[in-house]
Structure 1
């Protein structure tokens, strides 16, 4: 019988240590990047043994983030952004997408890994509206109280928060839902929160459920973290927000203006592999409170 990985803990940032895999470096390798070591490649190769198309999940995650960024900086009119767990610089970084839509957009990248921060300072901070800060999402008081983060924001105007492929690396004992709740409470009304997360569909899709359990085991054993949560568990991260249509869906199904072009021919339902069915994304909106008018 397949064992279930423990639902606790998280990988501590390992920086430039070449003896332990790093979440950010493993993700970089999954995207075809070069900022990784043999230990990172070996860890992800173990994942590929279970799900040979897992690299496409990472690529779908980047496509999703780019669509969300264009929507938030464009039609949604947001001009200040917080990217949590930003990781290593890659091709078409988020600030490039956002500032293409709105050249005046401010982007603050945050990560707790000093290696990511060092690379971010050198490669991303190319203008006075792009910043990379070392900070921890789990720190008491939330990132919006961190002096090096909040200095770049006007907390009276909406903020777009991006949390792509980061929350599933935080175990249940760290109570990431609580940290997200505190962050959402501090966000100005009119703000948006975008999240992607490893997904376990449970009995409604037995084959994908079995793969999710296998992937969780190999991620925890080889990378150090990576938990697959249910729909209900993922939606807890949006408590206090209105989840925008089309809701919590497979990444290539999220299009703000209605269904987009399909991903093309390939294995799995609607051209997607089984591994791609074990990842979900959604965007939440912090609606202004209702104003009740009294008569009399």
Structure 2
């Protein structure tokens, strides 16, 4: 993540595009086979894959989890507003396409701190109604909640689905991830949902510490957390079945391929009941 500069309105000021360091969103794009990345991102991604060869399968599994979770909160949860924070570079189908295929009146606010993400998202959304793209850093959750483009799309008096998909693990303990997530959670009314996925070292013997270290030279560190630590991020929201599980195990559309590598990403969907 880049550093945040906010004005009095809470709107983010212009960000410079830093191509001297790998950026998680652009590395993620490379893992997905995209072209919106630079050589510095490609080199870091290749280094990461040497110590965590399952990463490409992992990011694909994470996106499929997101698609299933979005369909759930829209179709079964009846939510018609989505706040997607840390959206990353757009890969079709993106959140608004998945949600609006179920309910065309669903409104979506995309938030990220990378100006490249913002530019590409705006291009994808050209002509898409009920959407906005906001350039703000997750580490300033109040700026996210108060941004006029978020407020234009999202009515916080009605249920909202908050998406924090593969982003909180880029918050270090010094960033107070629990406090950041709680601030966003607490702004949501009853009937809202939290969709969250997070990298973990639980499923590998080496806990993927060498892989996480690759991000030390990136614009954000990768902070692997345990099942208990990730579960705490949901606060008093009620996890829907099957709870907090590996993303491959969250209501899969099809059986896991035999011999598929274990994926070190937890995912869950939880509802605010009161």
Which secondary structure does the structure 2 equivalent of 1:18 belong to? coil
1:115-158 CA-partner distances (Å, limit 9, x unpaired)? 21122112224322121111222225362233331221222210
Q: 1:85 to 1:224 in 2, by over 3 A?
A: closer
Superposition pairs of residues 232-251 of structure 1, within 5 angstroms: 232-251=228-247
Instruction: Spell out, residue by residue over 1:192-211, the C-alpha distance to the aligned partner (whole angstroms, 9 max, x if none).
Output: 0001101132xxx6xx1414
What does the per-residue CA deviation read over 1:236-257, in whole Å, with 9 as the maximum and x for residues that have no partner? 21012111111111111101xx
Structure 1 stretches lacking a partner, 5+ long: 1-9, 267-271, 289-296
Between the aligned partners of 1:17 and 1:24, the Cα distance in structure 2 is 12
Alpha-carbon distance in structure 1 between the residues aligned to 2:144 and 2:218: 29
Q: Secondary structure, in 3 states, of the residue corresponding to 2:153? A: coil
1:145: which partner in 2? 146
TM-score (norm 2): 0.90
Tell me how far 1:18 sits from its aligned partner: 2.8
Q: Is the 8 A contact 1:15 1:116 kept in 2?
A: no
Distance 1:125 1:159 in 2: 23
SS at match of 1:197: strand
- Which of 271, 274, 282 in structure 1 is aligned with 2:268? 282
Matching residue of 2:255? 262
Q: Distance in 2 between matches of 1:147 and 1:138?
A: 18
1:34-59 deviation per Cα after TM superposition (whole angstroms, max 9, x unaligned):
10111111001001110222111000
User: Could you report, residue by residue, the CA deviation over 1:44-87 in whole angstroms, capped at 9, with x for unpaired residues?
Assistant: 10011102221110000110000011111111111110000011
Could you say which residue in structure 1 is the equivalent of 2:190?
Answer: 189
Cα-to-partner distance string for 1:4-38 (whole Å, 9 max, x where unaligned): xxxxxx55488543322111110000001010111
How is 1:196-211 mapped onto 2 (pairs within 5 angstroms)? 196-201=197-202, 208-211=204-207
Query: Alpha carbons of 1:223 and 1:147: their partners in 2 closer, same or farther (altered >3 Å)?
Result: closer
Name the structure 2 match of 1:273: 261
Q: How does 1:1-296 map to 2 (within 5 A)?
A: 12=3, 16-139=17-140, 141=142, 143-201=144-202, 208-221=204-217, 224-255=220-251, 260-266=253-259, 272-274=260-262, 276=263, 278-288=264-274
Moved over 6 A (4+): none
How many residues are aligned here?
A: 264
SS at match of 1:36: coil
- How far apart in 2 are the matches of 1:41 and 1:138? 26
Q: TM-score, normalised on structure 1? A: 0.84
CA distance in 1, matches of 2:248, 2:141: 34
Where do 5+ consecutive residues of structure 2 fail to align? 5-14
Cα distance in 1 for partners of 2:126, 2:83 equals 14
Q: Once superposed, what is the RMSD of the aligned Cα atoms?
A: 1.9
